[in-house]
Chains A and B, each alone.
Chain A
Amino acid sequence: MIPSHLARRRLLVLVLACGVLGLAVLTEQVRAPDRRDVGWLGTAIEGALAPVVGIVARAGDLVGEGWALLHEIGTLRAENARLAAEVAQLKEENARLRPAAEEASRLRSLLALKQSEPFASVAARVIGRDPSHWFSSLLVDRGTRDGVRRNDPVVTSEGLVGRVIEVGGSWSRVLLIVDPRSAVSVVVVRSRETGVAEGLGRPLLRVTYLSRDASIQPGDLVETSGLGQIYPRGVPVGTVVGVSRPPGDLFQEAVVRPAVDLGHLDDVLILLRPSPGEPAR
């Protein structure tokens, strides 16, 4: 039997050792350039768990789909009436917007000719999420075997999702743009003012370093500027919902709602960036 004072001392040493280790790992992470580098051991553990996570996520999808089906049956009648009204309204809108759509289509074709970003892409399925409320990353089922590399941009048809921060053989971790560790060079479409969109740890972004004199209003669209070597230019990031000009500050800030519903992502597109000197993939 160990005397109680020795047991207490042993516990104290153990707790201090674990605490110091935790703090050391945390501060090392914060000092790293992109604040996330788990090393070979971390990559190996994540790689081993990724298939399990994938299987459980798929099982979860099945349960979720079954539940959604039951829920859908219950709300079908109300939904039907609402949809009928919506169809009538959309038909009318459609007739009104057709000329504008034709013009936009022509302009888009012209723009596509001008765009020369040599990106190939690979579709990926979300298999895991970070459960904490404050940081935002996803696990997807594509990795180095599919040509994915660290820092490849991730998008959906609505806009920018984030970038790959860790890659294994058949999985990758995507840092979402709303994560506090994320920073994206952006441009406000109307005023062509550039800034840096930083994650706030909740479903909003803060765009900083906007010139104090620039005209920025709620409703303005924000897209990637193409600066910074990671994200291609012209990918929608979100819409301005608020602007603040702190007194005495050289810059103004805008709060932006992301274009993509990052809380409900199932499938994403990973843009495969060509390495320097490599022809377009």
Chain B
Amino acid sequence: MRRVALYALLAVGAVVLDTTWLPRVSLGGATADVVLVLVMTIGFLHGPEVGALVGTGMGLLQDLVTGVPLGLGMLAGLCVGTGAGLVRGSIYLESLWLPAPAAWVLTVVHQVVWIGAAHLVGLLTAPVATLARVVVLGACYNGAVAVPVFHGLRRLDDRMAHHSTGARPA
């Protein structure tokens, strides 16, 4: 229960950060997406089912708060959460730098789904060069943000788990 409350609080904090501070430090039109990194981390730590649910829920929250058409963030978050959960068994979570390339790949997946869905329903037409630039820069940006966020959250998650079982954290 405490873990759910913590994640809810983190989700709200990430959405608020995404809409207030992070757009001020955009890089070539791309901004860091802490919500995406959070969904990725939860998918890695708790598997595809939790990843899918959290990704969809946080995507919906992001859609509501940022004013984009509802559903885009849901679909993209679903793919990121499920994708991260599905590969958790075949990656080494303790690696310091793993979150960077993982966030890079998942950001590309997120953007392809997001832009693809918007394009399919006729909401978005943009030159391919601009799309590629924003996707690649955003992926690099998220890769840099992912390392501290992932390890910080993983440590916090470990602590919560040990606290609830009464054992000492490793």
CA distance A166 to B115 in the complex (A): 24
Does B124 lie within 8 Å of A22, measured CB to CB? no
Closest to A138 in B: B67
Q: Is B52 in the interface zone, CB < 8 Å from A?
A: yes
Q: Is A23 in the interface zone, CB < 8 Å from B?
A: yes
Does A131 lie within 8 Å of B19, measured CB to CB? yes
Number of residues of chain B lying within 8 A (CB) of chain A: 49
Residues of chain A lying within 8 A (CB to CB) of residue B68: 130, 132, 134-135, 137
Does B67 lie within 8 Å of A130, measured CB to CB? yes
Q: Is B98 in the interface zone, CB < 8 Å from A?
A: no
A-facing mask of B14-26, CB < 8 A → 1, else 0?
0111111111100
CA distance A131 to B33 in the complex (A): 8
B contacts with A: majority SS: helix
Does B15 lie within 8 Å of A49, measured CB to CB? yes
CA distance A36 to B123 in the complex (A): 12
Q: Is B59 in the interface zone, CB < 8 Å from A?
A: yes
B-facing mask of A6-45, CB < 8 A → 1, else 0?
0000110011001101111111111000011010001001
Question: What is the minimal beta-carbon distance from A164 to any residue of chain B, in angstroms?
Answer: 11
Does A15 lie within 8 Å of B71, measured CB to CB? no
Does B66 lie within 8 Å of A131, measured CB to CB? yes
Which residues of chain A from 231 to 272 have a CB within 8 Å of any chain B CB?
A: none
Does A18 lie within 8 Å of B78, measured CB to CB? yes
Which residues of chain B from 61 to 106 have a CB within 8 Å of any chain A CB?
A: 61, 64-72, 74-75, 78, 82
Does B70 lie within 8 Å of A42, measured CB to CB? yes
Closest to B65 in A: A49
Residues of chain B lying within 8 A (CB to CB) of residue A38: 64, 70
Does B16 lie within 8 Å of A25, measured CB to CB? no
Q: Is A53 in the interface zone, CB < 8 Å from B?
A: yes
CA distance A63 to B21 in the complex (A): 10
Contacts A26-B117, A30-B121, A131-B31 given; indicate if A21 touches B67 (C-beta within 8 A). Answer: no
Total contacts A-B at CB 8 Å: 144
Does A15 lie within 8 Å of B70, measured CB to CB? no
CA distance A25 to B123 in the complex (A): 14
Question: What is the minimal beta-carbon distance from A123 to any residue of chain B, in angstroms?
Answer: 20
Q: Is B1 in the interface zone, CB < 8 Å from A?
A: no
CA distance A14 to B82 in the complex (A): 10
Partner of B20, one of A21, A24, A56: A56
Question: What is the minimal beta-carbon distance from A276 to any residue of chain B, in angstroms?
Answer: 27
Question: What is the minimal beta-carbon distance from B10 to any residue of chain A, in angstroms?
Answer: 13
Closest to A36 in B: B69
Closest to B86 in A: A11
Question: What is the minimal beta-carbon distance from A25 to any residue of chain B, in angstroms?
Answer: 4
Question: What is the minimal beta-carbon distance from B90 to any residue of chain A, in angstroms?
Answer: 15
Does A60 lie within 8 Å of B70, measured CB to CB? no
Q: Is A226 in the interface zone, CB < 8 Å from B?
A: no
A-B contact pairs, 18 of them (CB 8 A): A11-B82, A23-B75, A29-B71, A45-B61, A46-B64, A52-B12, A57-B20, A60-B20, A63-B21, A128-B19, A133-B134, A134-B115, A134-B124, A135-B66, A135-B69, A175-B67, A181-B69, A181-B123
10 tightest A-B CB contacts, nearest first: A26-B71, A137-B67, A22-B74, A25-B71, A22-B75, A18-B56, A128-B19, A56-B20, A30-B121, A130-B66
Q: A15-B82, A134-B126, A137-B67 are in contact. List 12 more A-B contacts (CB 8 A).
A: A15-B52, A15-B78, A18-B53, A22-B56, A25-B74, A29-B69, A30-B122, A30-B123, A49-B65, A129-B19, A131-B18, A180-B123
